[in-house]
Amino acid sequence: MIQLKNEHEQAVMREAGQILAGVLSAIQKMVVPGVTTAEIEAEADRRIREVGAIATFRGQPGMVDHAPPYPAATCISINEQVIHGIPSSRKVREGDIVSIDCGVTWRGYIADSAISVIAGRAHPDVERLVKTTRQALLAAIAVARSGKHLHDLSFAIQSWAIAEGFGIVREFCGHGVGRSLHEDPPIPNYGTPGTGPVLRPGMTLAVEPMLNLGVPKVKVLKDGWTVVTADGKPSAHWEHTLLITEGPAEVLTRRPDETD
């Protein structure tokens, strides 16, 4: 069942979104060659704790039976890692795509957002992948209005991916978000316009295109968490938490330094 948020809940989620936006704005500046993903994780965790929020991802149950609860505040995925990369001593290299996904819980409500940052300079196809994935997210946000259908957002993402020749990850998708990290409805990154639930004011949605430079297919590594592209080619991931209103969608996790 899709949960509509009242004005109080919306206000709390707005605060959660801005806490998370501040965290991501700070740690994206750390993405340079030589930094370890553990160092980025430590700074994100420190900032979340500093404001009295909770790192939502830590302790989340695994996707497969043998996977332990998630151990960190962030998921940091590099290159062929699509999502759920576990921070470690791995050093970022010149030209890497570093996708950082993070969630914060504030007064019982959750905001969820992800960014993909290139360390230094990369191959033009990699830069195009990161840019297109973000543009796909912005396209979905632009059509996220009351009265539209959920899969209008999905189709907007699909259209950008197809136009640029990128693979669309199908095994994972966006989702509703609020008191729980994953609420109804699931939000695929492909779909038929005019289908799916009708958007209504009070819906809060985590929209997150995941596009691959190669084939759409992905697989989960033995750690039970890290999702990688089947062909080993790079992937990019962007995400925002949106509030559906009577007018344009409100981007609850918009970063202070973000431009359209």
179-209 residue pLDDT tens: 999 999 999 999 999 999 999 999 999 999 9
- The pair of structure tokens assigned to 151 is 């899969």
Is residue 247, in this structure, part of any structural domain at all? yes
Mean pLDDT of the chain: 97
Distance between CA atoms of residues 260 and 131, nearest Å: 11
Is residue 260, in this structure, part of any structural domain at all? no
Alpha helices in the chain (DSSP H): 7-28, 37-50, 124-143, 150-164
Residue 241 has pLDDT above 80, yes or no: yes
Is residue 257, in this structure, part of any structural domain at all? no
Quick one: 146 exposed, middle or buried, by C-beta within 10 A (0-12, 13-18, 19+)? middle
Instruction: Determine the structural domain holding residue 123 and report its residue range.
Output: 7-251
Residue 110: count of CB within 10 angstroms of its CB: 27
Specify the number of domains making up the chain.
1
- Specify the CATH number for the domain of residue 181: 3.90.230.10
Distance between CA atoms of residues 19 and 106, nearest Å: 9
The closest alpha carbon to 10, from 178, 187, 142, 143, belongs to: 178
Return the pLDDT at 260.
66
Residue 66 has pLDDT above 90, yes or no: no
Residue 93 — φ and ψ, nearest 5°?
A: -115, 160
Is residue 256, in this structure, part of any structural domain at all? no
Residue 29: pLDDT band (50, 70, 90) is very high
Is residue 175, in this structure, part of any structural domain at all? yes
